[in-house]
Structure 1
Amino acid sequence: MDLRQLRYLDAVARARSFTAAALDLHIAQSALSQQVAKLERELGVELLKRTTRKVETTEAGELVLARGRRALAEAAAIREDLDALHGLVRGSLKIGGVPPMSGLHPARLIAEFGARHPGIDITIREDVAQLLIDELAAGRLDLVLSLTDVRTLPPSLTGRRLVEEELVLILAPDHPLAQRKRIPHAALTGERLVAYGEGSVLRAELERLVDEPNVIAEVNELVTLRELVALGLGVTLMPKAVVAATPPTTLAVRPLHPRLRVPVAMIWRAHEQPTPAAAAFREHVLAAVARHP
């Protein structure tokens, strides 16, 4: 048994097809079939159940894959560590969230990092904060950027507070509350609210401010949320960095009284050595924060 055979088995199991797996691996289907069959003979068990329509993993195959995938991950980590030792950073980086930050631009930070390290494949996953944090804890992400207080994280996770972001109220220009310069928290009681879905920090802050929030629409797309508010469907909270330059004829932006600020944090798994790519990105972000006035 060797790593190549494990990689071939993993590819077939994921694709559920020898044909598709061979295309992904850029090898002949016959060579792929021979190597998987050889591995089955060496182990003395059937790893894949083949039918005319698809390929399914047997119980023995699942057991082999569970350990085999860890072995493949460790082998990849060895290559990344050796590259890092020689001044090269390669591999993959899976980032969850691109929250707005006044004075900092996460998308620009990621683009600059990608230009500096072209050998790293970067994947960005956007969703509500709680789902991203759950994926991080499950090992499907390397780190998360989120409007989250690191003091609320479970013991398996840790992180660094980067900056604080002010949350403001956005509403249609002709909304009665738009006549005020600042909006008291109590004024939100009874207002029709357009909010992000459950698990988002903005939704949690709305529910904290309003005893019985009247949420009439849930939207997870920033552009759609702003459009619905501008058209008068309801009001909502928004990071100031997102709407600071919005023309007042399109959308009214008002600070709350007292002002409401939330931390922006970078989060990763505790007690785990980061990959060279993840470590390099963390250093990149922290250096940018240190330069931030």
Structure 2
Amino acid sequence: MELQQLRYVVAVAETRSFTRAAQQCHVVQSALSHQVAKLEREIGARLFDRTSRRVDLSAAGEAFLPAAREALDAAERARAEAAAVSGVVSGRLRLGAIPTVTAYDLPSLLRDFRAAHPRVDVSLRTDGSQELVAQIATGTVDIAFLGLPPGRVPRGVRSRIAGRGEHVAVVAPDHPLADEHRTDLASLAPYPFVDFTAGTPGRLQVDEAFAAAGVERHVAFEVTTGDLAAGLVAQRLGIALLPGAYAATLAGVRTVEIADAPVREEHVAWSRHRPSPAAAAFLEMLAASSAG
């Protein structure tokens, strides 16, 4: 069993196509198919169910895939650790972030990180805070930027608070409150709301603030991103409460400060296990940025 064979299997599993997998791996399809077939003979089981239209993982393939990914990650980690001894940081850095992160300017951070460590390849995904914590635990994300209600600490990972900020009301330009400088939750409650999915940290921050104020509201639309919430607000479908620093970047809407505003804490989270050289270098850069 060779690492290249494992790479081919993972590529086919991700693309669901031998043709696309070969393109992704920069190899002719016949060579990739031959190596996958050779591995299947060695294992004694078919890893893929093939038809003329699609390729799916077989039961054996579903069982094989997680260990194949772990083996490839271990090989990459070994290569990066060896290179780090000579002072060269290499490998892959896998970052995750909520869409509304504001504690850091991620593009600027990645620009500086790339300049310092040009041999590190970076992948960046957006997701909810709960999902990102789970991905750190499974090893699919190295470092994530989260948003949580005050006092909440992500479980099963290491973390620190990166920032804290208040929400503002986001309204359409012609909304009755658009020209107000400041309002409160009781004044906002009669209007329909656009908010994140119930049970998510982004939603809990606002739900808990309304509960603490003893005020009820109606969420007419549930969304998964702040940008989509702003789009619905601009169409006069409701109002939204979003982190102030994030809301300031939105176009086509107005923002109003809230006297008893919900509060969000942003966290940087990473694995309890020893970070890879690339992840350790990025954490050092974050620490230096915070100290500055």
TM-score interval for Structure 1 and Structure 2 normalised by the shorter chain: 0.7 to 0.9
CA pair 214-70 structure 1, distance change in 2 beyond 3 A: same
CA contact (8 A) 1:193 1:234 kept: yes
* 1:238 counterpart residue number: 242
Alignment pair present for 1:226 and 2:227: no
Summarize deviations over 1:215-259 as a string: whole Å, max 9, x none: 223344444433543554432212222344889xx6543322235
* 1:204 counterpart residue number: 204
Rounded Cα–Cα distance in structure 2 between residues aligned with 1:183 and 1:238: 14
Aligned partner of 2:230: which letter? R
* 1:194 counterpart residue number: 194
CA pair 99-18 structure 1, distance change in 2 beyond 3 A: closer
Alignment pair present for 1:213 and 2:217: yes
Rounded Cα–Cα distance in structure 2 between residues aligned with 1:254 and 1:54: 52
Rounded Cα–Cα distance in structure 2 between residues aligned with 1:240 and 1:257: 13
CA pair 133-17 structure 1, distance change in 2 beyond 3 A: same
Aligned partner of 2:274: which letter? Q
Summarize deviations over 1:182-240 as a string: whole Å, max 9, x none: 32333232222122333554432222233432122334444443354355443221222
* 1:112 counterpart residue number: 112
RMSD: 3.2
Aligned partner of 2:155: which letter? P
Shift of residue 50, structure 1, vs aligned partner: 4.8
Summarize deviations over 1:52-82 as a string: whole Å, max 9, x none: 4444544444444443332221111101112
Greater shift in the superposed pair: 120-129 or 273-282: 120-129
Greater shift in the superposed pair: 55-64 or 282-291: 55-64
Unaligned runs of 5+ in 2: none
Aligned partner of 2:80: which letter? E
CA contact (8 A) 1:99 1:146 kept: no
Summarize deviations over 1:152-207 as a string: whole Å, max 9, x none: 34531231101212222233455444565432333232222122333554432222
Percent of residue pairs bearing the same amino acid type: 36
Rounded Cα–Cα distance in structure 2 between residues aligned with 1:245 and 1:66: 40
Rounded Cα–Cα distance in structure 2 between residues aligned with 1:47 and 1:246: 47
Alignment pair present for 1:2 and 2:2: yes
What TM-score do the two structures reach when normalised by structure 1? Answer: 0.80
What TM-score do the two structures reach when normalised by structure 2? Answer: 0.80
* 1:164 counterpart residue number: 164
Rounded Cα–Cα distance in structure 2 between residues aligned with 1:57 and 1:290: 48
Aligned length: 287
CA contact (8 A) 1:150 1:161 kept: no
* 2:263 counterpart residue number: 261
CA pair 164-113 structure 1, distance change in 2 beyond 3 A: same
CA pair 207-65 structure 1, distance change in 2 beyond 3 A: closer
Greater shift in the superposed pair: 169-178 or 73-82: 169-178
What SS class does the counterpart of residue 152 from structure 1 fall into?
A: coil
* 1:90 counterpart residue number: 90
Instruction: Compare CA radii of gyration and give the structure with the larger one.
Output: 1
Unaligned runs of 5+ in 1: none
CA pair 288-19 structure 1, distance change in 2 beyond 3 A: same
CA pair 169-60 structure 1, distance change in 2 beyond 3 A: closer
CA pair 262-14 structure 1, distance change in 2 beyond 3 A: closer
CA pair 143-56 structure 1, distance change in 2 beyond 3 A: same
CA contact (8 A) 1:129 1:199 kept: no
